[in-house]
Amino acid sequence: MAKVCYFCGKKPVAGRSIARRGLAKKKGGVGRRITGVSKRRFLPNLQTVRAVVDGTPRRIKVCAKCIKAGKLVKP
């Protein structure tokens, strides 16, 4: 299970990257136009850390939010 947080299950989510051109109407142009939409992925901030899991130290992938929350126990 790559790119998945061990504790909360946070994983990559899909999104879009929108390319625009033109000058905004507010700035005196005719408006911004969408010229392309491409797919992208938002990746979680995963860190590989050593933690105690079931009484034994192991390397696991944990998101930064879970590390800050103190959900893991260091060996």
**Separation CA 61–CA 40 (nearest Å):** 22
Helix or strand (DSSP H, E) at 69: helix 64-69
Structural domain contains residue 63: yes
Structural domain contains residue 42: yes
Structural domain contains residue 43: yes
Q: State the residue range of the domain holding 27.
A: 13-69
**Three-point CA angle 66, 2, 7, nearest 5°:** 25
- The reported pLDDT for the residue numbered 58 is 94
Q: pLDDT by residue (tens digit) across 5-46? A: 999 999 999 999 999 999 999 999 999 999 999 999 999 999
**Separation CA 33–CA 28 (nearest Å):** 14
Number of domains in the chain: 1
